[in-house]
């Protein structure tokens, strides 16, 4: 099977050095395998995503020297794929509707947080069993409590996360009719025939969640390569708010793609 990779920015801000290194790694691994790289624009959050950031991400990646096949794919045009998967998960009883607000969840929580800082859902609505697929409700995936999800990461080696301990029942569908990140990514990576996902180490736990979705949807998961996160000078993770390290400001300061790449290899 030939290698198919992707880079998948979310256009909620300008790309920073951390994204650049991850995307460069994705490009590098794809090139080394003589594969095909795709660009997926993860623009499902209509309130936070902006066309301006999307355009800037494309320009920044081109400037870095990343090449991809065809036009960027917009998640916002792929609703029918997500709806189909959502329906299937409902029909097989993997999901339940959840009426808790963010505030309810915080209040119910004496419970711990997963490693990625997300509150572990205390399971208030868990007993609601239905196979109806009401798209205007929030739906969660019922995780198999206590099961260990194990996978081999091509960079960090063997990984193991425990359902209900490292993460809880996670959102799959929102009542505004938009799928969660977890569902959209699984559906897209499978439909696009991606063979290896390269992304930041902040998404290691999400990979465990996504493996549950692959299994529930009878889809074959890709391989995974998670990249080290980049830290700023005070040891904090780079975020889109670190404007000084955005690719466009580095470019304006006269940095060249070669200079950046030489720091990563």
* Interface residue list for ligand GLU (CB under 6 A): 8-10, 42, 185, 199, 203
Give CA–CA dist 265/249, Å, rounded: 22
Q: Work out how close the CB of 42 gets to ligand GLU at its nearest, in angstroms, rounded to a whole number.
A: 4
Which residue, 62 or 109, has its beta carbon nearer to ligand GLU?
A: 62
Q: Determine the 3-state secondary structure of 30 from DSSP.
A: helix
Which residue, 64 or 185, has its beta carbon nearer to ligand GLU?
A: 185
Q: Work out how close the CB of 74 gets to ligand GLU at its nearest, in angstroms, rounded to a whole number.
A: 13
Q: Work out how close the CB of 132 gets to ligand GLU at its nearest, in angstroms, rounded to a whole number.
A: 29
Which residue, 41 or 138, has its beta carbon nearer to ligand GLU?
A: 41
Which residue, 118 or 133, has its beta carbon nearer to ligand GLU?
A: 118
Q: Work out how close the CB of 26 gets to ligand GLU at its nearest, in angstroms, rounded to a whole number.
A: 9
Give CA–CA dist 49/184, Å, rounded: 15
Close Cβ partners of 35 (under 8 Å, ≥ 6 residues apart): 2, 3, 4, 5, 195
Residue sitting closest to ligand GLU (CB): 199
Q: How many CA atoms lie within 13 A of 97 on its CB side?
A: 13
Residue 53 tokens, joined: 């950031």
- C-beta separation of 190 from 219 below 8 A: yes
Which residue, 8 or 260, has its beta carbon nearer to ligand GLU?
A: 8
Q: Work out how close the CB of 10 gets to ligand GLU at its nearest, in angstroms, rounded to a whole number.
A: 4
- C-beta separation of 166 from 119 below 8 A: no
């Amino acid at each position: 099977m030939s290698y198919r990779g992707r880079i998948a920015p979310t256009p909620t801000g300008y790309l920073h050095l951390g994204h650049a290194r991850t995307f460069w790694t994705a490009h590098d691994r794809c090139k080394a395998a003589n594969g095909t790289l795709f660009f997926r624009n993860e623009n499902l959050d209509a309130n936070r995503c902006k066309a301006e950031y999307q355009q800037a991400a494309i320009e920044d990646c081109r400037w870095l020297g990343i090449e991809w096949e065809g036009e960027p794919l917009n998640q916002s045009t792929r609703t029918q794929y997500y709806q189909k998967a959502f329906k299937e998960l409902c029909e097989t009883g993997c999901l339940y509707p959840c009426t808790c607000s963010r505030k309810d969840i915080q209040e119910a929580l004496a419970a711990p947080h997963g490693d990625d800082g997300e509150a572990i859902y205390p399971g208030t609505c868990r007993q609601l069993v239905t196979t109806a697929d009401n798209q205007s409700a929030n739906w969660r995936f019922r995780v198999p409590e206590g099961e260990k999800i194990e996978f081999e990461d091509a960079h960090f080696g063997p990984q193991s996360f425990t359902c209900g301990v490292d993460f809880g029942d996670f959102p799959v569908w929102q009542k505004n009719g938009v799928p969660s990140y977890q569902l959209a990514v699984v559906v897209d990576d499978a439909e696009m025939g991606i063979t290896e996902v390269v992304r930041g180490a902040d998404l290691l736990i999400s990979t465990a969640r996504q493996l549950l979705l692959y299994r529930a949807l009878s889809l074959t998961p890709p391989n995974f390569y998670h990249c080290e996160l980049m830290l700023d000078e005070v040891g904090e993770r780079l975020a889109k708010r670190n404007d000084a390290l955005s690719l466009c400001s580095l470019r304006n300061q006269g940095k060249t793609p070669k200079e950046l790449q030489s720091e990563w290899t």
